[in-house]
Amino acid sequence: MQDIKSVIIGTGSYLPGTPVSNDKLAETVDTSHEWIVERTGIHQRYFAKKGQGTSDLATKAAQEALENANLQPNDIDLIIVATASPDNTFPACATRVQHKLGNTKGLAFDVAAVCAGYLLGLNVADSFLRLGKAKRALVIGAETISNLLDMEDRTTCVLFGDGAGAVVLEATEAKDNPQNRGLIGVDLESDGRYFDILHADGGPSSTGSVGKLRMTGQEVFKHAVTKLAKSAKTTLKKYKVSPDELDWLIPHQANARIIEGMRRKLDMDESKVIVTVAQHANTSAASIPLALHEAVKSGKVKEGDLILHEAIGGGLVWGSALLRF
Ligand code: ACO
């Protein structure tokens, strides 16, 4: 197990439809471009079209990641979808993605940790790969969170958007891994006492309906900066990495102010932080793989770069991940 690392060999992403600007949103919501940009850094978001499910977005991101990894769907034997907005209550969104991709082998399942879901997916996939239970995994963060938005609640509906991001991980033995690439470690925690400050007010065993996203923004903000900084420092200390050794901080893209707070706590240079929230708002579980793919596509992130991820979401669930890309 010590000799095997989970290496990212392909990335992909998908944003549905056309961008919806803050001004466009302000035509129907009592808000303004200035308020949204000042408080969040968000300029636009994407909303899935009618009939477009989370599995459709996830499949497109996965197809791009497979193409970039030069693989066929059946080269994959594990598919994990991190989502809080699956097509159906059951079965798992991942099984629909499996079918849409044309994959007929292995195991597909969802993980639920809302905005921290991608990090949980990475952690679970890494365990499968390093235990020899799978050779190649797709980890996908995908959301049509717009289905959970109360468009009458301006304190939440301006913050979120739909999208998907995906990575292909391959179990790689040390002898084939001279750069020592791969996932180094993940730190995750949860505390259910904070259920109320960020949740959907519905579900099969409570209301029998899907519910809408509810959030006490200032409380979430407060927890976000302190808990994320603590997790990031724990991970860096555990693996004996100092912040200035990092090539990139690729955080959950919730809010430019939370990202800036984290950057300051880690004392990292602005040029080393990937920020894409302006273009697609908070896409929950999709945001980290979306930002990673953008950074790879633009040529910023290269093989061998040392990356720190961090995310916090409803639960609360939060954590960080360190990897050599
Ligand atoms: N447009 C215009 N005005 C608004 C809007 C809006 N969309 N929303 C709220 N306001 C008004 C409020 O009504 C209030 O008006 P009042 O002073 O007359 O009462 C005023 O703006 C200030 O409201 P606050 O809630 O105090 O605004 P705040 O500065 O805290 O910013 C925000 C709100 C952006 C939500 C902030 O608390 C925040 O960033 N929280 C973090 C939450 C977050 O990013 N969550 C994402 C999900 S969790 C995750 O992924 C980490």
CA distance 112 to 193: 17
- Is residue 115 part of the annotated active site? The answer reads yes
Tokens standing for 222?
Answer: 């407060």
Reported as a pLDDT band with limits 50, 70 and 90, residue 1 is: low
Mean pLDDT of 304-314: 97
* Ligand 1 atom closest to the CA of 311, numbered from 1: 51
* Ligand 1 atom closest to the CA of 157, numbered from 1: 7
- Residue 254, ligand 1, Cβ within 6 A: yes
Expressed in angstroms and rounded, the spacing between residue 30 Cα and the centre of ligand 1 is 13
Q: What is the 3-state secondary structure (H, E, C) of 137-196?
A: EEEEEEECHHHHCCCCCHHHHCCECCEEEEEEEEEEEHHHCCCCCEEEEEEEEECHHHHH
CA distance 157 to 146: 8
Reported as a pLDDT band with limits 50, 70 and 90, residue 257 is: very high
Q: What is the pTM of this model?
A: 0.96
Expressed in angstroms and rounded, the spacing between residue 222 Cα and the centre of ligand 1 is 12
Three-state DSSP state, 242: coil
Average pLDDT score over the chain? 97
- Residue 65, ligand 1, Cβ within 6 A: no
CA–centroid distance for 32 within its chain: 27
Give the tens place of pLDDT for each residue, 279-289: 999 999 999 99
At 138 the pLDDT is 98
Reported as a pLDDT band with limits 50, 70 and 90, residue 294 is: very high
At 2 the pLDDT is 59
Reported as a pLDDT band with limits 50, 70 and 90, residue 39 is: very high
Q: What's the sign of the alpha-carbon dihedral 80, 105, 1, 69?
A: negative
Mean pLDDT of 231-235: 96
Q: What is the DSSP string of 194-213?
A: GGGGEEES--TTTTSS---E
Percentage of the chain surpassing pLDDT 90?
Answer: 99
**How far are the Cα atoms of 89, 143, 180, 200, 250 from residue 209, in angstroms, in the given order?**
10, 18, 47, 10, 34
β partners of residue 323: 183, 307
> Among residues 66, 322, 22, which one has the least CA distance to residue 181?
322
Give the tens place of pLDDT for each residue, 136-153: 999 999 999 999 999 999
Give the tens place of pLDDT for each residue, 78-134: 999 999 999 999 999 999 999 999 999 999 999 999 999 999 999 999 999 999 999
Expressed in angstroms and rounded, the spacing between residue 130 Cα and the centre of ligand 1 is 42
Domains along the chain with CATH numbers: 4-176 (3.40.47.10), 182-324 (3.40.47.10)
143: CB partners within 8 A, 6+ apart: 54, 57, 83, 84, 85, 162, 163, 164, 283, 284, 285, 286
Residue 111, class by beta-carbon neighbours within 10 Å (0-12 exposed, 13-18 middle, 19+ buried)?
Answer: buried
CA distance 274 to 295: 7
Mean pLDDT of 293-300: 98
Give the tens place of pLDDT for each residue, 169-199: 999 999 999 999 999 999 999 999 999 999 9
The residue to mutate among 24, 33, 39, having the most atoms of ligand 1 within 8 angstroms of its beta carbon, is 39
> Among residues 291, 273, 274, which one has the least CA distance to residue 282?
291
**Phi, psi at residue 45, to the nearest 5°?**
-150, 170
Reported as a pLDDT band with limits 50, 70 and 90, residue 275 is: very high
The residue to mutate among 190, 197, 231, 255, having the most atoms of ligand 1 within 8 angstroms of its beta carbon, is 255
